[in-house]
Amino acid sequence: MFIFVHFITVILLTASLGVSAWAQTRVRPAYIQPLQPIPSINPPVASPSPYGNRYGDIFVLEPNAEAWLEEGEAIICAPADQPIPFEYSEAEKRGKASKAGVWGQTVPHTEAGKYLNQFAVVEGRVHNVSVQDKWVYVNFDENWREDFTLAISHKAATLPGWPEWHALAGKTVRGRGIVNAYYGPRIELFHPRELEILD
């Protein structure tokens, strides 16, 4: 009997270079043959396929991941439809609360352009939100052609957990991701966990 394994990715930020450099380890999904019952299988008992294989989710935890997350040296990155191990979520929350590592290096939205093609945690007050057919744009200044923007695709915007878009106007928020250039600096958000409302 084989069980299909899904891997969750933790992006490790290279501490010596700060937020200007980042590395991502990609692990291919694989088949394993468990030698004993594994409690992290979700669901605990999955119905077998015609070939006798059982399918479920096993989270293969990197031994150092919790420490990296708590120290702000790593962030969680996972497919939108994949649940996050509780240990990872709690470790990242502790890192945010203590402003450790990357969480203590928040970039003001007016300086986001200095971090093109780099990972950054950008913070600022929302000027307005534009909801279009294919995108939601969270703008941080009057001139959307030049200001910093958080962009959410229509597909990502359908995920549960996003705030009511127009209620963001006037709120201080924090977004994380790779800064790219598209009518000014922009970060594309893929999941509600990448946007935080601070007030």
Q: What residues does each domain of the chain span? A: 32-102, 105-197
Single pTM value for the model:
0.69
pLDDT in tens, 103-155: 888 999 999 999 998 888 999 999 999 999 999 999 999 998 899 999 999 99
105-197 architecture in CATH? Beta Barrel (2.40)
Is the preceding peptide bond at 43 cis, omega within 30 degrees of 0? yes
CA separation for the pair 178, 189 (Å, rounded):
9
Q: Check residue 10 and give its pLDDT.
A: 55
How far the first Cα of the chain sits from its last, in Å, is 51
CA–CA separation, 98 vs 104, rounded Å? 8
